[in-house]
Amino acid sequence: MFSRKDIIVLGMMIFALFLGAGNIIFPPMEGYTAGQHWATAALGFVVTGVLMPFITLVIVSVLGRGEELTRDLPKWAEILFLATLYLVIGSTFAMPRITNVAYEMALVPLEIVTDTPVNHLIFAVVFNIIAMLFMLKPNTIISSVGKFMTPALLVLLVVVTVTVFMSPLSDIAAPSESYADSSALTTGLISGYQTMDVLAAIAFGGIVARALSAKNVTDPQKIMRYTISSGCISVVLLAALYFSLFYLGATSDQVAQGASNGGQIFSRYVNVLFGKEGSWIMSGIIFLASLTTLVGVTSACAYYFAKFSNRLPYAFWVVVFTIMTTIISENGLTKLLQVTIPALLLIYPVAIMLVVLQFVRAKLPRVKLTYNATIAVTVCFSLCDSLNNVGLLSDGVKQFLGNFPLYDNGLAWLVPALGVMFLTMLVGKSAKK
């Protein structure tokens, strides 16, 4: 029997898994540049950063594992996509970023050690070993994260949120950068990509399914019901947090000058509000958020790669990914943030379309045709977006892509992908007649 207490604990675990340090450092900068449009921007951010991951989580939980989303693709495409996904959200991009955020925002501001390469390496090793110890006992993940880490994290976040709304530092300024030239809603939608949470939901869905299975919940209808119930807790908490952080950013003009990322804005804001004690509050928030996400994501990655060989079990991959994360994190936060965006622009649209296709799969007359054609078109457009982000796209291709709707908003792939999906549905129906 899955009790109400179990639902709350699972909901807290889902919230903590999604609430990585990246989710805390991006919204303040977005709120600052959105200015007077912070609420509209936050709404867009919540759509791609909360609602879409929630839908993905429910779908994957019912399916049992993220790999089921790609079962209708050619085997090579399935493995390529999933391996890329797990590496992007895991030890090549997101988890080294998590490690660096924890170091730069949780340890350095306390001024208990000097910021040197040696201290950075020591912190990375210790931090990742702590996470590894949790991962090597996977049955402790739901209890340790849901029962202990998340409540502590919530208390710290509530303290900051209430204080920000009661004592904002500055008046809200006019929008700047992309928010001054484009729709705040669509810019917020694109910004929500940075959380990586649709990608993470593909991995976390398997964790939720295993957690429910441990409680003898295996019926698809019950899995859906309990995942929705638990997930709603996470949705409400994350949405409230993002709106608060956008407001923090919008009212941060006093401390935001010269800041290069939202983490610096958050750190300065908290220090002004709480003084020296603020550094400890911020450190607690960042450390707990980073640790819970590192544990959840890396364990999901290890589960995926372990299925390829009995000789290389889950524990082996946990150790391998821990070592990779530690080594790659030595590149520093700024460099990792620069390479993350092109990778996201490439894989995020594909993940979104796989979720959309799963929604309509039962009504597809020719499943493989629709899947292969839709994903192929999505990859072509998302690859162009990725190349454009790093300055490798030719002017001729840019001019051609400019003819597509939503190109200026970074969503040129959306209309063609949906168009091909519906077109192949019509072709499939005609072929059956």
pLDDT in tens, 348-366: 899 999 999 999 999 999 9
Among 330, 358, 391, the domain boundary falls at 330
Q: Outline where 90-116 has alpha helix (H).
A: 94-101
The yes-or-no verdict on residue 203 having pLDDT over 80 is: yes
- As a whole number of angstroms, the distance between CA 67 and CA 59 comes to 12
161 and 62 in a single domain? The answer is yes
117 and 86 in a single domain? The answer is yes
Q: Report the SS3 class of residue 262.
A: helix
| Tens digits of residue pLDDT in 412-427 | 899 999 999 999 999 9
- As a whole number of angstroms, the distance between CA 75 and CA 298 comes to 24
| The pLDDT value given to residue 278 | 77
The yes-or-no verdict on residue 122 having pLDDT over 90 is: yes
**81 located within any domain:** yes
Domain that holds residue 258: 4-330
Q: What does pTM read for this prediction? A: 0.84
**343 located within any domain:** no
**178 located within any domain:** yes
**396 located within any domain:** yes
The DSSP code for 171 is -
| Tens digits of residue pLDDT in 216-229 | 888 889 999 999 99
Distances (CA, A) of 96 to 23, 61, 416: 15, 27, 34
**383 located within any domain:** yes
Closest CA to 25 of 277, 290, 240, 254: 290
What count of residues does the chain have? 433
Which CATH number fits the domain that encloses residue 9? Answer: 1.20.1740.10
The yes-or-no verdict on residue 205 having pLDDT over 70 is: yes
Among 282, 302, 330, the domain boundary falls at 330
Confidence of residue 144 (pLDDT cuts 50, 70, 90): low
425 and 280 in a single domain? The answer is no
Among 330, 365, 391, the domain boundary falls at 330
Tokens 């939503």 found at: 406
| The pLDDT value given to residue 82 | 92
- The total of structural domains in the chain comes to 2
